[in-house]
Amino acid sequence: MRSRRVALGIALLVSALVTGPLVASPGAVAAPEAAPNAKIERANQAPTILKVGVTQEVDSLNPFISITRTGTDILRTAFDFLTVYNQEEQKPIGSLAESWETSEDKLTWTFTIRPDLRWSDGEPLTAKDVAWTFNKMLTDEVARTANGSYVAQFESVDAPDETTLVVKTKVPQATMTSLDIPIVPEHIWSKMSDISAAPEYPMVGSGPYIITEFKEAQFTKMVANNNFWRGKPKVDELHFIYYRNADAAVTALQNGEIDLVNKLTPQQFDSLKSDPNIVLNQAQNRRFDEILINPGAATADGTPIGDGNPALKDIKLREAIATAIDTKTLVERVWSGYGEEAAGYIPPMFKDFAWSPSGDQKREFSLEKANAMLDEAGYRKGPDNVRLDKEGKPLNLRLLAHAERTIDEVAGPFIKGWLADVGINVTVQPVSDTQVNEATTRGEFDLAFSGWSANPDPDYVLSLQTCANRPNAQGTGGTPDSFLCDEEYDALYTQQLQEFDRAKRIEIVKQMQEMLNEKATLVILGYENALEAYRKDSFEGFPLQPRENGVIMNQQGYWGYYGATPAGEGPVPQFNDDGTITDGGDAQTSDAAAEEDSNTGLVLAIVGGVIVVLLVGGLFVARGRRKTAEDRE
Amino acid sequence: MSDIITPTEDALVEVPPPARGGGTLRYVLTKIGGGLVSLALVIVLGFLLFRVLPGDVVQSMFRGRPATPELMAEAEARLGLNKPLYEQFLDYLWRLLHGDLGESYVFNVPVTDKILERLWPTVLLVGVATLIAVGLGLWLGTRSAWRRGSRFDRISTGVALTLWSTPTFWLGMLLLAATSGLFPTAGLVYSDTPPDFLSQALDVAHHMVLPTVTLVAVIYAQYQLVMRSSLLEEMDADYLTTARAKGLRDDQVRRRHAVPNALLPTVTLVFLHLGMVIAGAVTTETVFSWPGLGLLTYDALRVRDLPLLQGTIVVLAGAVIIMNVLADVLYRVLDPRVRAS
């Protein structure tokens, strides 16, 4: 009898757990499944919520501290910047700043701040707040944690009146319209004793949404900011929900637990193709992947370090290696086609700055040609078909790879194979990410996988190849990439930083990329696509940045979340060059056909689940009864 | 979850060393003393181990974003990483003695706060799962031993062994897919659940179902198997024949005589294995994004957050050590033979 009672209890408990929460909090489960008509009616009472699944944990919601993708993505929508990258093509336009001018000597920037701006708590937002934020970073090293590099060349910051901000720089800085620094309210932050502490919620901000609640490793809640100067967003609440497990996030999207997710793998992306309620977005990404070829690493003062194969100092050898890598095949194999073929150093997503080799500059993949190049350069074949270097030693190269990255894992053997065909013996060495970083910084590599996410302003990725970016004698204090260190390149680097005419600057940046291609200290492998998906039964769509082939999440601005349009409330707004809203003529539209299905599906699932539970419970009861009967024998 | 069960069983056979001169207090104090020594070792090892690992912390912090050498030097000084190792260690010890585990590099908050926030979800998950697993394991183990060789025995032991050898991650994903839409896919609560206690509690219970089922499925087998084998050993004992001869019903013989004796090794095992269960929770927490300590440790290790790592190691190791001491003490309480020797 006892066991029967236990079994019955278990069965009851389980069914209570399955059905209980469904009954107790109908909003939680049923809401995303509601029909569109119901949704519009509901808009008057219940808030519309955009639930975004993120697979990276928030490190901090303190704008001076946060450096993770997710953290900055959230903060970008909570705090406005002086300038923002426009939706169309990621060109800097005014945000808090209405306009700006520079002095004759290019060292003084005068920004005019929009009048009548307000913080979410109603206090006025003025040039003083901006000046306080920048000055805090200049005087307090903790405040420099996340974005210190942007103020590294600031001489002074001053706000002579409420709408004027004057920044003096030590050297000319073309990047002054791309300061990625969230501006914080002085009236709140000046009272904080510890600038690195977690701020209080709701967090007073100036972006389209404000942060109201943060549950560590669970979710961040934001609500629409009525005081946002561009106008209140259509969505009432924006929730970022943390998924440690990307597959679970995909299931959650299919279940309607979340509305939007990014960072999908090609497999996950393909698996969602058959779901009629889901819209997929294959977007250009800001990341490039590359192979570094160690041209002879040295420290910032020119002392050689590391143990790179000295043969690689020969540009002819590096060129031959670059010719023997088939980037077209890699895009197919590594990203299942969800990527773009290699071109210049700046990813094609940044149309203005991107450069593509043409004519003789373009190294078409050809093993024959690579072999010919090596023969011509005097690398004779030794025994076992391995070529010998100038000193008669066989060409054995190590290829440093990230053990946990797909691209390294898949591309490694291909590269090994191609190079073997031209007589170069490659050993792939998969190690942890930190070990790759450490070894490449110390110059302890021959070939290595690497890759960076570029910003709309190319300054950062270009700086990686300069002499100044090399490490100190201990192999720290710098983040070098290929150890190029070329005088001409450095000169061009300084020149582009001092060129305030965008068109002219673009020309210089392209010239620098041409040079990187020519020097062959790095081989671009390609540009992975960003794969995103959202539910069209809950959302009409989102403004993409850039407008063509752009992303919804992790934008260099707030357009995607700000312009999020609930289903039935279309069209999706598109934002003009000056940031004003234009007609959303070219927005994705959705047919709200398959609505009923998902509803029926959920009901069926619940009914089915309950039946299964009852059956299992019943089985337990029956088993228990029979066993007790046997025991009594 | 994978561990070889035999060594534990061997260890269980070893009777704790007799306390010289008797005295429960002395015995308990010795055990606690031993525990403290282990903890001290863990503290030292926890500090050294992560510093021996390759990789420059500051370097990895600045990977992928603009950095100047000055900024990197600043960060190094702020984190105290420019000091000699022994000074860092003394700093760490001094703070630890004051109950301060330092500040997380990545999250910029005190490690103690971070751990306290993450502790209760793990305690909840591991606690509930262990209770269910122990209950289920003991019940099934008793049944299958009593009817050794029966269909129930063969099936339940087979199922238990199969589940035990199933990779936790895979089982979790399978459950997620199979119950699609019925249970939440991640976290502790939905972000839009009303803040009142009842809704929150129900929502937590709803979120707990899949992680708990996964964890129970993977761990209950050890309790079942140990219970089964220790009951089998008791079954040939003479006192059972005596009990039967007294005219007791089979059910009573089992409940009043056989099971209490067979429970002895099992109860100790429950405590000894708690540490392992916590380790197993890491995977479960990862699959279901359960915001617990296991997830925190895993993430801290990936980003080389030294203070956070040291903190979680001290807490986790501390928990295991306490459980071991408890097991020792409990064994003595439960088994009169140990007390007498």
Rounded distance between C-alpha atoms, residue B283 and residue B261, angstroms = 34
Q: How many distinct structural domains can be found in chain B?
A: 1
Beta bridge pairs of residue A94: A83
| A627 neighbourhood in chain B, CB within 8 Å | 143, 152
The answer to whether residue B4 neighbours chain A at the CB level (below 8 Å) is no
Average pLDDT over residues A424-450: 90
Whether the CB of B154 is below 8 Å from some CB of chain A: the reply is no
Would the CB atoms of A217 and B118 count as touching at under 8 Å? yes
Statement: residue A16 has pLDDT above 80: no
Q: How many CB atoms lie within 10 A of CB A416?
A: 18
| Average pLDDT for A238-248 | 92
- A281-285, A307-311, A394-398, A402-406: the lowest-pLDDT one: A402-406
Q: Is the pLDDT of residue A32 over 50?
A: no
Select from B59, B66, B152 the Cβ nearest to the Cβ of A149: B66
- pLDDT at A449 > cutoff 90: yes
Q: Which residues of B touch A17 (CB under 8 A)?
A: 205-206, 208-209
Residue B187 has its nearest CB partner, among A25, A219, A609, at: A219
Residues of chain A contacting residue B147, judged by C-beta atoms under 8 Å apart: 630
Instruction: State ipTM.
Output: 0.82
State residue A618's pLDDT score: 54
Strand duo A287-293 + A447-453: pairing:
antiparallel
Residues 18-47 of B with CB under 8 A from A: none
Q: Mind listing the pLDDT tens digit for each residue in A301-341?
A: 889 999 999 999 999 999 999 999 999 999 999 999 999 99
For A197-225, what is the mean pLDDT? 93
pLDDT of residue B318: 86
In this complex, do A632 and B251 lie within 8 Å of one another by their Cβ atoms?
A: yes
Which of A6, A221, A251 is the closest to B191 by Cβ?
A221
- Cα–Cα distance between A250 and A270 in angstroms, integer? 11
* pLDDT tens-digit readout, A533-545: 999 999 999 999 9
Cβ-defined contact of B295 to A217 (cutoff 8 Å): yes
In this predicted structure, the answer to whether residue A29 has a pLDDT above a threshold of 60 is: no
pLDDT of residue B19: 46
Residue B295 to chain A, least CA–CA distance (Å): 8
More confident residue, A288 or A41: A288
Q: pLDDT of A122-158, one tens digit each?
A: 999 999 999 999 999 999 988 988 888 899 899 999 9
Nearest Cα of chain B lies from the Cα of A55 at a distance, in angstroms, of: 10
State the angle between helix axes of B293-303 and B259-287 in degrees (0 to 180), rounded to the nearest 10: 50
Chain A hits for B173, Cβ within 8 Å: 245, 247-248
Q: Which range among A419-433, A487-501, B308-322 shows the weakest confidence by mean pLDDT?
A: B308-322
For A49, the closest chain B residue by CA position comes to: B192
pLDDT bracket for residue A458 (50, 70, 90): very high
Task: For residue B258, give its domain range.
Answer: 24-54+101-340
Reply yes or no on whether the pLDDT at A633 is more than 60: no
Contacts for A312-316 with beta carbons within 8 Å, 24 or more apart? A312/A397, A312/A446, A314/A377, A314/A390, A315/A519, A315/A520, A316/A373, A316/A374, A316/A376, A316/A377
Evaluate whether residue B7 is within a structural domain.
Answer: no
Residue B153 lies in a domain: yes
Q: How confident is the model at residue A519 (pLDDT cuts 50, 70, 90)?
A: very high
The pLDDT-based confidence of A446 (bands split at 50, 70, 90) is: very high
Is pLDDT at A602 greater than 60 in this prediction? no
Residue B82 resides in a domain: no
Q: Do B192 and A31 touch (CB under 8 A)?
A: yes
Distance CA B261, CA B265 (A): 9
User: Using a CB-CB distance cutoff of 8 angstroms, which residues of chain B are in contact with residue A51?
Assistant: 191
Of residues B54, B139, B188, nearest to A438 (C-beta): B54
Q: What is the pLDDT of residue B272?
A: 77
Report whether pLDDT(A78) > 60.
yes
CATH of the domain at B218: 1.10.3720.10
Instruction: Tell me what pLDDT residue B236 has.
Output: 81
pLDDT band at A181 (very low <50, low <70, confident <90, very high): very high
For tokens 């009236």, the residue is: A187
- B133 found inside a domain: yes
The answer to whether position B299 is within a domain reads: yes
Higher per-residue pLDDT: A76 or A4: A76
- Residue B261 forms part of a structural domain: yes
Distance from CA of A267 to the nearest CA of B (A): 16
Residue among A357, A347, A361 at smallest CA distance from A319: A361
Residue B289 with chain A: CB contacts under 8 Å: 217-218, 242-245, 248
Distance (Å) from the alpha carbon of B210 to chain A's nearest alpha carbon = 10
Comparing CA positions, the residue from A83, A86, A82, A58 lying closest to residue A72 is A58
Q: How far B57 CA sits from the closest chain A CA (Å)? A: 9
The set of residues, in sequence order, having a beta carbon less than 8 Å from that of B334 and lying 6+ positions away, is B263, B264, B267, B268
Residues of chain B with pLDDT under 70: 1-22, 54-55, 64, 279-280, 338-341
Residue A26 has pLDDT above 80, yes or no: no
Tell me the sheet residues that pair with A109.
A102, A167
| pTM (2 d.p.) | 0.83
**A486 pLDDT band (50/70/90 cuts)?**
very high
**B213-239 pLDDT, tens per residue?**
999 998 899 899 999 998 998 888 888
CA nearest to B78 within chain A: A142
Q: Which of A198, A243, A255 is opposite residue B180, by nearest beta carbon?
A: A255
Least CB–CB distance from B194: residue in A25, A196, A248: A25
> Cα torsion at A487, A489, A490, A493 (round to 10°)?
160
Instruction: Reply yes or no on whether the pLDDT at A375 is more than 90.
Output: yes
Nearest by CB: A476 against B56, B147, B180 = B56
Q: Which residues of A touch B304 (CB under 8 A)?
A: 434
A152, B68: Cβ pair inside 8 Å? yes
Query: What token pair was written down for A591?
Result: 């047919």
Closest partner residue to B60 (CB to CB) among A65, A217, A437 is A437
Banded model confidence at residue A584, pLDDT cuts 50, 70, 90:
low
Q: How far is CA A232 from the centre of its chain?
A: 26
Closest-CA residue of A relative to B182 is A606
* Residue B235 counted as domain residue: yes
Confidence label for A612 from pLDDT (cuts 50, 70 and 90) = low
Give residue for tokens 């064994």: B331
In a domain, B117, yes or no: yes
Q: What are phi and psi of A172, to 5 degrees?
A: -60, 135
